[in-house]
Structures are given as C-alpha cells and as structure tokens.
Structure 1
Amino acid sequence: MNTDLFDRLGTPERMLEIAGFDLLNADLRTSLDEVAKRSATLLEAPVSLVSVVLDTSQMIIGGHGVSGWVQEAQGTPAEWAMCTHTVLAGEPYCVIDGRKDPKHAGNPFLTMTGLRSYLGVPLTGEAGQVIGAHCVIDTRRRIFTDVDLAVLTDGAEKIMKLMRAYRV
C-alpha cells in the first residue's frame, strides 16, 4: 500500500464527510446510475462512474457500462483509480491516452479493462472536502472538450444534490 496516498486520502475531515452519506442506499444508487448513464450517453463514452475515493479504495456508487471484476468488486484499489487523481487535484483531471501517459502507462486498471482515456470532475461535499469524482472513461484515445467538461460538471452538481438527500 502507498502510505503517502493513504495519508493524503485518509484525512479525518474527508473520512468524516464521506461517512455522513448513506452510500449503500439502493434508491440513491439507482439515481446515481441514471446520472452516469446520462453522462455516458451525452459524451458518447462506454463507461461513466460516480465514485467515492476512500483512504485505500475507490468505491463505485453509481455507474454505466461497468462490467466484469470491476462491477463485482464495485471499485478498485485507490492507487489504480483514475478518480484518485481528480480527488487529490481538487479540480477536473484529464488523460488523453493512458497507454502513453507516463503516470498511467502501467496502471493495472487500464490494462485489465482496455480503457484508455479519462475525464473526471470532483464531487465536493458541503464541508468543502473532495469526496469522489464523476467521470467518463473511453476505450479510445480521446481529446475532451469544454462541452464535455460542462456535461460532467452538471452531472456532478446533480450527484451532490442527490447525495445531500441521503445524509445519515
């Protein structure tokens, strides 16, 4: 495990904010799946996720186009998750071609899934903590546009509004 990553993601403030949501609620997850499907459809991407990045793992709480072991596990290790970069940056994160990007070329998630490009925006809670990301991932090299970013940003706003209705 990457202890630096754990320390950066596992701050008590972030963990407390994440713990304040009923992330396992079936109605919330259905609604988040719908937002992910909308983003995937509008951006013509095969995969869209709504994820919460914990201290050691990414938890997929909504998605479209997720299959295989990722669907079964409902997440990935944090060090494999593209969304981890979005969370740590606290701003949109883009990868045009993960196979050629030095940060991501050896990423097991990309290798095993065949996914290649990524655009994600942060999900920010009411206390200002970045708790996760809303993203699209594609199997082809892709240059994302400002319109793509606007679609995801709109989706992230809808996601946080939905999540606020499921506070515990």
Structure 2
Amino acid sequence: MKTDLFDRLGVPERIREIAGYDLFDPDLRTSLDALAQRSAGLLEAPVSLVSVVLDTSQFIIGSHGVAGWVAETQGVPAEWAVCTHTVLAGEPYAVIDGPTDPRHADNPFLQMTGLRSYLGVPLTGSGGHSLGAHCVIDARPRIFSDVDRAVLADGAEKAMKLLDAYRLR
C-alpha cells in the first residue's frame, strides 16, 4: 500500500544513492559499529545507531547496544523509526521523553524496547539527500545539548566518509 511516508522517503534519486553503497561489506559494518560505540560512550547513552532509511524501512548498518529482535532484523518499519523524522527534517531531531511526546507516545518501537529519548543527525549524501541518521537512544528522559548535537554531527560526517569509501563502482 502506497502512503505519504512512502512518497516522501521513496524519492528515486535518494534510493539510488543509498543503493550505490556496499552496505553489506563486513569491514564497513565493523567500522560503523565502532563509530556507534564511540558516540554511545561520549554521550553516555546505552544505544547508538548508524542507519539508512529506505522507502518502507530503517536498515541498521552500524550499532552499539542493540539487542533482541531489533538486532536480529537489523531494523524496523520506517513508520516506527525515529530516525525517519531526522531524515525527513534533514536536520538534528530530538525526543526528550517519547511516552509523553504526542509525536511518539504510540510508537511501537519505543513501547517494545522501553527506550525513551532520542537524538539523531542526518547522514547527508553527496546528492544533498538525507540518506539516514546517526543517533543515540536512551532509556531515560533526556534533554540533549548543543555539544551532544556536535558530537553526533561529527560522527555523521565520519560515517559518510566511511560510506564513501564503500561506494560500488
């Protein structure tokens, strides 16, 4: 079923740009996992992701602290992914306390995982499209600072440099 979200995420140039990376390369995955671990440590968050958001799903390409079904499936539907909001905004996106935020109170991902706060910055490709996000997620309500945003922005920049090294030729 085609939806407004599908139309907004399924921009052909954006999807082609995502498809231009070797997202399954194990060395890329190892490097992105290390980047996520670094961001989680610097921001004292239990979970950090590097992900791309396709037209219908979020695909986790690097992570720290992800467990259970999310780790097994390596993603969630786009309508559940808070990173979708980051991608659509094209700028940093924060959630202080998901259960009390009307935008996210009914989000199955937050309900099932018990995670509550989120800060993400977009991964911007060379074509200018937001391809995904680098984020931290916490189990406690949290107000994120400009320093937190800067740490993630630096991580997103590093993630894009890594991705660029794994472009399919």
Which ranges of 4 or more aligned residues in structure 1 deviate by more than 4 Å? none
1:143 matched to which residue of 2?
143
SS at match of 1:106: coil
Between the aligned partners of 1:103 and 1:145, the Cα distance in structure 2 is 21
> Paired residues, what number?
168
Write the mapping of 1:116-155 to structure 2, written as runs, cut at 5 A: 116-155=116-155
Question: Taking structure 1 as the reference length, what is the TM-score of the superposition?
Answer: 0.99
**CA offset at residue 2 of structure 1?**
6.4
**CA offset at residue 66 of structure 1?**
0.2
Question: Taking structure 2 as the reference length, what is the TM-score of the superposition?
Answer: 0.98
Q: Please list the CA deviations of residues 19-46 of structure 1 after superposition, one character each: whole Å capped at 9, or x if unmatched.
A: 1100011000000000000000000000
1:103 matched to which residue of 2?
103
Q: Cα gap change, 1:2/1:102 in structure 2, threshold over 3 Å: closer, same or farther?
A: farther
2:66 matched to which residue of 1?
66
The reply on whether 1:57 has 2:57 as its aligned counterpart is: yes
Write the mapping of 1:148-163 to structure 2, written as runs, cut at 5 A: 148-163=148-163
Between the aligned partners of 1:94 and 1:8, the Cα distance in structure 2 is 20
Between the aligned partners of 2:129 and 2:148, the Cα distance in structure 1 is 24
Between the aligned partners of 2:112 and 2:57, the Cα distance in structure 1 is 17
Between the aligned partners of 1:150 and 1:90, the Cα distance in structure 2 is 15
Between the aligned partners of 1:31 and 1:52, the Cα distance in structure 2 is 15
RMSD: 0.7
2:75 matched to which residue of 1?
75
